[in-house]
């Protein structure tokens, strides 16, 4: 579980937990999912409190979608434990379904159904009333005329808006969103961020996956960074901001280009003519600048705070240096050859009884075979 200090034996770091006096709404304990001999995620420990917007951050293929599918009961863990509101998402699926809103990363819908029919179908599968549908459609610019059209005529952005409506329409206490802002225009992204803030203010819990750092910085209090199916760290966004490197730019007076920089070579020098840019850890900036000024013909110098992207990359480099390379699981970026779309409502084939099936709007052939 997230705490302070290093996770024993793993080499990964953990930031602050969900907060004092709060029981976790979402809890992953050593979650592991294997697809045959390939590991999708391994020993993932995360907890999320009520009223928290929590980010799962990593590049495509990191294990984000596998984690979310286990969280909503679409996949059964190979090992470890998943709890949502204290219940097992697979064994207690029927009890949990009305309490979870889920937006998959690749929304697959019946093209012949209208938007209205799609929302009705998903509401029936969720098994809960939909008090927010009209409000959400208005805020996300889905008109009655739009909802009367077949989904097969929708653009990607319209499908994403429909997916957001269905995930929030029944006011679930837990919302799980996989790359939720994909396909939204900038104005609707702002509306989406407002919706997330409102969910948190109402005490509802949101877990979203993303590879877009500004989105996570804007919406989340804490993030879990994953790579190759393993947890790199759990940090608050504030911590990531504080830890991010400083961008040091030097312009040399002699007009010469790339040259040896001695100890500064460790800071990823990027040359452009007689100018070089370095990413220096914050606690090493002063001695680094002094050494560079003493040893090189520097004509101009600027130092500024690097972006969250650099902090993210620094953590990844540290993870590589620690030797935590890992096989990639067959999720997030499955092979395009042979891939097919699956409509909502298609039955599971993972051994669950026929009466205990949920909408299968996010499953691909490789995960079926692996599960």
Give the confidence band of 231 by pLDDT, cuts at 50, 70, 90: very high
CA–CA gap between residue 192 and residue 194 (Å, rounded): 5
CA–CA gap between residue 168 and residue 99 (Å, rounded): 10
Identify whether residues 63 and 149 lie together within a single domain.
yes
| Domains in the chain, number | 2
pLDDT(295) > 70: yes
CA–CA gap between residue 197 and residue 179 (Å, rounded): 17
Identify whether residues 40 and 144 lie together within a single domain.
yes
Identify whether residues 259 and 217 lie together within a single domain.
no
- Decide if 31 is inside a domain: yes
Residues in the chain: 371
Give the confidence band of 106 by pLDDT, cuts at 50, 70, 90: confident
Helix 156-168 crosses helix 186-201 at what angle (to 10 degrees)?
10
Q: What is the DSSP letter of 90?
A: T
Identify whether residues 174 and 82 lie together within a single domain.
yes
pLDDT of residue 239: 82
Angle at 40 between CA 5 and CA 323, to 5 degrees: 50
Give the confidence band of 318 by pLDDT, cuts at 50, 70, 90: low
Give the confidence band of 103 by pLDDT, cuts at 50, 70, 90: very high
Identify whether residues 227 and 205 lie together within a single domain.
yes
Identify whether residues 225 and 259 lie together within a single domain.
no
Q: What percent of the chain has pLDDT over 70?
A: 76
CA–CA gap between residue 140 and residue 130 (Å, rounded): 16
- Decide if 196 is inside a domain: yes
E strand or H helix that includes residue 48: strand 38-49
pLDDT of residue 356: 41
Record the tokens describing residue 9, joined without a space: 């034996």
Domain boundary among the residues 306, 339, 354 is at 306
More confident residue, 241 or 226: 226
What CA dihedral angle connects 155, 159, 160 and 165, to 10 degrees?
Answer: 140
Give me the chain's average pLDDT, please: 81
CA–CA gap between residue 262 and residue 177 (Å, rounded): 46
Identify whether residues 124 and 137 lie together within a single domain.
yes
How large is the C-alpha radius of gyration of the chain? 23
Looking at the DSSP assignment, which residues form a beta bridge with residue 275?
251, 272
pLDDT of residue 315: 62
- Decide if 23 is inside a domain: yes
CA–CA gap between residue 280 and residue 273 (Å, rounded): 20
Identify whether residues 222 and 258 lie together within a single domain.
no
- The mean pLDDT of 298-312, rounded to a whole number, is 76
Give the confidence band of 218 by pLDDT, cuts at 50, 70, 90: confident
Model pTM above 0.75: no
- Decide if 2 is inside a domain: no
- Decide if 72 is inside a domain: yes
Identify whether residues 29 and 74 lie together within a single domain.
yes
Give the confidence band of 319 by pLDDT, cuts at 50, 70, 90: low
- Decide if 5 is inside a domain: no
E strand or H helix that includes residue 321: helix 308-321
- Decide if 199 is inside a domain: yes
More confident residue, 70 or 284: 70
Q: What is the pLDDT of residues 75-86, one digit of tens each?
A: 999 999 999 999
pLDDT of residue 306: 66
More confident residue, 351 or 244: 244
Domain boundary among the residues 262, 277, 306 is at 306
What CA dihedral angle connects 77, 317, 333 and 354, to 10 degrees?
Answer: 10
Looking at the DSSP assignment, which residues form a beta bridge with residue 114?
150
Angle at 271 between CA 314 and CA 286, to 5 degrees: 55
Q: What is the pLDDT of residues 239-278, one digit of tens each?
A: 877 777 788 999 999 988 899 898 888 888 999 999 999 9
Angle at 107 between CA 102 and CA 112, to 5 degrees: 120
What CA dihedral angle connects 330, 164, 119 and 343, to 10 degrees?
Answer: -20
pLDDT of residue 32: 97
pLDDT of residue 35: 93
pLDDT of residue 163: 97
Q: What is the pLDDT of residues 118-127, one digit of tens each?
A: 999 999 999 9
CATH code of the domain covering residue 89 = 3.40.50.300
pLDDT of residue 349: 37
Identify whether residues 353 and 287 lie together within a single domain.
no
User: Number of C-alpha atoms within 13 angstroms, CB side, residue 265?
Assistant: 6
Identify whether residues 207 and 140 lie together within a single domain.
yes
CA–CA gap between residue 205 and residue 220 (Å, rounded): 11
Identify whether residues 76 and 108 lie together within a single domain.
yes
Structural domain including 79 reads 13-241+326-370
- Decide if 316 is inside a domain: no
């Amino acid at each position: 579980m997230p705490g302070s200090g290093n996770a024993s034996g793993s080499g990964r770091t953990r930031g602050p937990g969900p907060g004092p006096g709060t029981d976790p709404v979402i809890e992953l304990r050593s979650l592991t999912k294997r697809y045959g001999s390939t590991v999708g995620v391994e020993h993932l420990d995360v907890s999320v409190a009520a009223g928290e917007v929590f980010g799962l951050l990593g590049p495509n293929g990191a294990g984000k979608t596998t984690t979310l599918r286990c969280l909503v009961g679409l996949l059964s863990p190979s090992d470890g434990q998943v709890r949502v509101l204290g219940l097992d998402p697979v064994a207690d699926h029927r009890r949990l379904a009305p309490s979870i809103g889920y937006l998959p990363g690749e929304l697959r819908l019946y093209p012949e159904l209208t938007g209205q029919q799609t929302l009705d179908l998903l509401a029936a599968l969720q098994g809960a009333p939909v008090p927010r549908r009209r409000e959400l459609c208005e805020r996300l610019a889905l008109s009655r005329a739009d909802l009367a059209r077949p989904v097969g005529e929708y653009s990607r952005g319209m499908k994403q808006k429909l997916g957001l409506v269905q995930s929030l329409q029944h006011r679930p206490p837990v919302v799980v969103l996989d790359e939720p802002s994909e396909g939204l225009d900038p104005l609707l992204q702002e509306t989406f961020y407002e919706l997330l803030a409102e969910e948190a203010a109402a005490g509802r819990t949101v877990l979203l996956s993303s590879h877009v750092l500004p989105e996570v910085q804007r919406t989340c209090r804490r993030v879990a960074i994953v790579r190759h199916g393993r947890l790199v760290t759990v940090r608050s966004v504030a911590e990531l901001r504080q830890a991010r490197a400083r961008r040091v730019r030097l312009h040399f007076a002699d007009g010469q280009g790339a040259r040896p920089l001695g100890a500064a070579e460790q800071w990823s020098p990027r040359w452009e003519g007689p100018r070089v840019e370095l990413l220096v850890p914050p606690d090493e900036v002063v001695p680094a600048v002094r050494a560079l000024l003493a040893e090189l013909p520097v004509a101009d110098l600027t130092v500024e705070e690097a972006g969250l992207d650099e902090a993210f990359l620094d953590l990844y480099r540290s993870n590589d240096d620690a030797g935590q390379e890992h096989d990639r699981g067959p999720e997030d970026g499955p092979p395009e050859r042979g891939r097919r779309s699956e409509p909502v409502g298609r039955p599971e084939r993972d051994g669950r009884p026929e009466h205990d099936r949920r909408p299968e709007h996010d499953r691909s052939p490789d995960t079926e075979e692996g599960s």
